[in-house]
Amino acid sequence: MSELLCIEGLRAGYGEAVVLPHMSLRLADSQVLALLGRNGTGKTTLINSIVGITRRFGGSISLGGRDISAMRPDQRARAGIGWVPQERNIFRSLTVEENMTAVAQPGPWTVARVYEMFPRLKERRNNFGNQLSGGEQQMLAIGRALTLNPQVLLLDEPTEGLAPIIVEELLRALGIITRAGGICSIIVEQNAQKILGLADRAVILERGAIVHHATSAALKADPAVLERFLGVSGAGGH
């Protein structure tokens, strides 16, 4: 598999504060990476740095061999960075359909294909963003990111605060997306057990640095590591 996303010696943060002192990470085409760690360990900062909304002090980010470090966030989006932030950031005054067609780029992920994956969105296609439930807004945020037809899909805490039945639906959809190929994904998640079944690899961050990097299967089978870095025990998780 060829390398799609390559982060080399990235030093980034906000204002004068450096949150990521020296981050290096490589992701191949169609790989799914679980980004784990307790609160405040730099997970969102890493996602934001790939999107282009942090201050870069050094290092580089390249996408498909093209250096995107100096690009603005909108240019990175067009180059192939799809982002679903914690806040979802949907257009609340646009309809579901307008939210997706506003950003759509040509490719395999069409609005119709998103509707197939999220029938609930099809039912709500003429509803405004602010008329949707939290779960529906999250589905829309994911659908909108997909209609950009990104090479990299970044999901920051996609299941946070959602009802268990919605979480199941989202995880099933993420499984479909990741198995469809052509997109590599980075998923930030507090609950390791929830996401390790979807991911190929997992990294654990602490103080803005990678402290553990393994296949998801190896991490799942190592409760001592989960306990040490994430404070969860065994297969049950918290």
pLDDT of 193 reads 83
- pTM value is 0.93
Question: Among residues 218, 226, 211, 225, which one has the least CA distance to residue 42?
Answer: 211
Residue with tokens 């945020």: 141
Q: Give the number of C-alpha atoms closer than 13 A to the C-alpha of residue 135, restricted to the C-beta side.
A: 14
The percent of residues above 90 in pLDDT, for the chain, comes to 77
pLDDT at 34 over 70: yes
Average pLDDT over residues 41-60: 97
Q: Return d(Cα 93, Cα 72) in angstroms, integer.
A: 25
160, 195 in Cβ contact below 8 A? no
* CATH of 31-50+79-230 given 3.40.50.1820, 3.40.50.300, 3.90.1560.10, 3.30.420.40: 3.40.50.300
Round the average pLDDT of the chain to a whole number and report it: 92
pLDDT of 93 reads 95
Q: Return d(Cα 145, Cα 100) in angstroms, integer.
A: 8
pLDDT at 234 over 50: no
